[in-house]
Structure 1
Amino acid sequence: MPRVDRTFFMEDAVTVARRLPGMEMVVKSGDRAGRYMITETEAYLGDGDRACHASKGRTARTEPMFLEGGHLYIYFVYGMHWMLNVVTGPADHPEAVLIRGVSHFPGPGRVTRCLGIDSSFNREDLTLSDRIWIEETGFSPELVAGPRVGIAYAGEPWVSKPWRFVIRNEKEK
């Protein structure tokens, strides 16, 4: 199937977060490539979204969020997990989509651990990379939208925004 191009990533984070489930993330290691259907995503809408890292401004950590859509933003949390985010929209407009689950690996920490994603992937361009990219599948799953996970610190209305998208059958597991 065709690799997703830059145009796809130039939409806002909510639009991209809704469209990614059902697509495949391809991760290449040596001469082998693993294919994983994206099953769960969350949108983070830049400096106005108090749950978004960029809401506190541009820092060395958040700098990748200010790149053009299609780049990766990878960060470390809880002293043990890498988080995989896809930057969306134009440069200098920080929005991103957290990949919360892929086939067989629910949970963002499991995603990165099982796919071998670490800080070396930070800033990687999904439209050009030879080791990670996203492909169309032609599959348009039914989604369940709900609030994002683990963002109580952001307060309302951000905690209640229905910006988490899960393939219906995956939510029932």
Structure 2
Amino acid sequence: MAGLKESFRGQCNLHIYFAEQYLGQLDSTDANEWGGHIQRATTDSIVWQLLLAYQCHLADVIDQQPKFALTLPQGQFNARSFVADDLPPELEELAGREVEPGWLEVIVNYAFIQTTAASPAPRGVLAWDGQIENAPKPDLAVCLHELKSMIARHRATLMEY
């Protein structure tokens, strides 16, 4: 079981590293690459890596606190996925933050699939990707920084257990 702790942390660190690499590429690429879709693809890749890092961090929190006897759900999950009478304080904190406007809500609720239901297509446009050019874009550098800070804070707290 000792190998799993390093594994969750290692996976988390790896996804943070990939997010940093993609973030560095976001503004340094030609916006016309991939038929003009490079910005969207890179943004999606950053958020995906942040989401995976977040899930690995949750797994690490659970693994580090065996007194709560929680098991990881199958597939994608977040802090709100855990339902028990007694949860680690980190999960309770994060479950609340996942629904509040802010960096964590951006990561957890990011719309990887754009739908025209989210915003109506301009008249006369047959094919449209659902995005509005002036729609606010998430500040991914802030999301990355806040996620790394939160992970460091939780890891320091977990050392006390």
Relative to the length of structure 2, the TM-score reads 0.30
Tell me which protein shows more strand as a share of its residues: 1
Larger radius of gyration: 2
Q: Which has the higher contact order (CA 8 A, sep 6+)?
A: 1
Tell me which protein shows more helix as a share of its residues: 2
